[in-house]
């Protein structure tokens, strides 16, 4: 059977908010979409069936971590990440650029690529645009990301400019190395820190190269929400309206609402899974720390509007007990709850845009969160 083409359809808009559909070789993605992070070919504390049950349509895997363990050649022999982990839907892989940047003194950047030492055993490795692109092919990524240098924040203008231009040179090399296949795509990454003219230059460079989609990188790295939103306002109007737009590493629910309003279609973040493992749950009225003593005798569900097992079968008191007793089940239940919340939340956004009511939805969203968690009995 012939694979479908990789195609983004912009169905409707509501102000700056966009409602779209992305067709890939491995399934259809309705946007705006939140993508759970499966760093090492697993969404932590969740089975693949659990991830599907939340309504997730696409997940992420991490090039840096998988190249170190178990190794891309081994993953390729096992049929790629999707087959290895039993995930039947689309897969996006990051390029390793962010992880390499975070290594600090353990990495050395030059015009050709990056040499770094593994955080696992100190062994030396080399990543270039070509190698990163080929590793992602071996991982069988539905969406391959261009290899870039994620500019740290804060960065002086000249430093940000040099970093962005290096990433654009690498993007061109990534595109040449990418092996086009039906239903597969590659995204370029817009860089330039918080400087509008550098962002504009980056968008123009990537447009000239030509990708199936475009990401906004180098945000959610400490610049704060106001700077992130103003950077998006200067950037997204310049981006191709007929291609998907992905804001990398974001994030918090209020960041997502504000970014959708500014034209973003795709999001990912470790926050819901990491928070679930530490006892923090997301609800329409904000976050709840289930470890707090106020929940010890509370027979009510965590969120009575949620369909996940944690909310349908168990009380706050039981979830509190699981975390106090350091039982693994607590991590599993709260992680699934958080991913369920994010999928329901983004589905509500899609519905609101379709109805031309996104502004009203956003106002209601912020008003509900301002109320805070329900008081104890």
List the helix and strand counts (H, then E) for the chain: 15, 16
Task: Catalytic residue, from 50, 140, 255, 268: name it.
Answer: 268
* Dist. CA 346–CA 333, nearest whole Å: 20
DSSP structural state of residue 236:
G
Q: Which of 23, 59, 52, 53 is nearest to 38 (CA)?
A: 59
Look up residue 143 and give its two tokens. Answer: 């969406």
Per-residue burial over 224-256, b if 16 or more Cβ lie within 10 Å, else e, is: ebeebbebbebbbeebeeebbbbbbbbbebebb
d(CA 302, CA 227): 33
Q: How many CB atoms lie within 10 A of CB 208?
A: 9
Helix ranges restricted to H, the chain: 48-53, 63-68, 72-77, 81-85, 97-101, 129-138, 157-177, 196-209, 225-235, 253-260, 271-277, 309-313, 316-324, 328-354, 358-371
Query: Is 14 an annotated catalytic residue?
Result: no
Q: Which of 284, 288, 283, 285 is nearest to 298 (CA)?
A: 288
Element of type H or E holding 17: strand 17-24
Q: Is 348 exposed, middle or buried (0-12, 13-18, 19+ CB in 10 A)?
A: middle
What's the token pair of residue 326? 């350091």
Indicate if 207 belongs to the active site.
no
> How many residues belong to the chain?
377
Q: Which of these is catalytic: 14, 50, 94, 298?
A: 94
Dihedral pair phi/psi, residue 327, rounded to 5°? -85, 135
Helix (H, G, I), strand (E, B) or coil at 59: strand
Catalytic residues: 94, 268
């Amino acid at each position: 059977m012939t694979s479908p083409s990789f195609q983004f359809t912009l169905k409707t808009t509501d102000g700056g908010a966009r409602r779209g559909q992305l067709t890939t070789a491995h399934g259809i993605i309705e946007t705006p979409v939140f993508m759970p992070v499966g760093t090492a070919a697993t969404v932590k504390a969740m089975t693949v069936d659990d991830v599907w049950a939340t309504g997730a349509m696409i997940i992420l895997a991490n090039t840096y971590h998988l190249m170190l363990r178990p190794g891309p050649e081994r993953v390729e022999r096992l049929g790629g990440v999707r087959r290895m982990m039993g995930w039947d839907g689309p897969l996006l892989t990051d390029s390793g650029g962010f992880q390499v940047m975070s290594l600090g003194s353990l990495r050395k950047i030059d015009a050709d690529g990056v040499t770094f030492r593994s955080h696992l055993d100190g062994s030396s490795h080399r990543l270039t645009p070509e190698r990163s692109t080929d590793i992602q092919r071996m991982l069988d990524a539905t969406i391959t990301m261009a290899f870039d240098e994620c500019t740290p924040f804060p960065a002086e203008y000249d430093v940000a400019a040099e970093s962005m231009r290096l990433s654009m040179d690498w993007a061109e090399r990534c595109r040449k190395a990418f092996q086009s296949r039906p239903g597969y795509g590659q995204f370029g990454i817009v860089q330039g820190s918080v400087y509008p003219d550098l962002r504009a230059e980056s968008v123009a460079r990537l447009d000239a190269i030509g990708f199936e989609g475009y990401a906004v990188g180098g945000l959610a790295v400490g610049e704060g929400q106001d700077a992130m939103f103003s950077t998006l306002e200067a950037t997204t109007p310049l981006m191709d309206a007929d291609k998907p737009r992905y804001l990398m590493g974001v994030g918090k629910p209020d960041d997502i609402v504000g970014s959708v309003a500014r034209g973003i279609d795709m999001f990912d973040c470790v926050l819901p899974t990491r928070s679930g493992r530490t006892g923090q749950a997301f609800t329409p009225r904000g976050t709840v720390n289930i470890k707090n003593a106020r929940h010890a005798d509370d027979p009510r569900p965590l969120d009575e509007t949620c369909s996940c097992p944690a909310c349908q079968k168990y009380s706050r008191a039981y979830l509190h007990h699981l975390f106090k007793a350091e039982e693994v089940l607590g991590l599993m239940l709260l992680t699934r709850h958080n991913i369920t919340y994010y999928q329901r939340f983004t589905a509500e956004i899609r519905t609101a845009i379709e109805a031309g009511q996104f502004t009203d939805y956003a106002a209601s969203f912020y008003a509900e969160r301002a109320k805070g968690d329900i008081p104890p009995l």
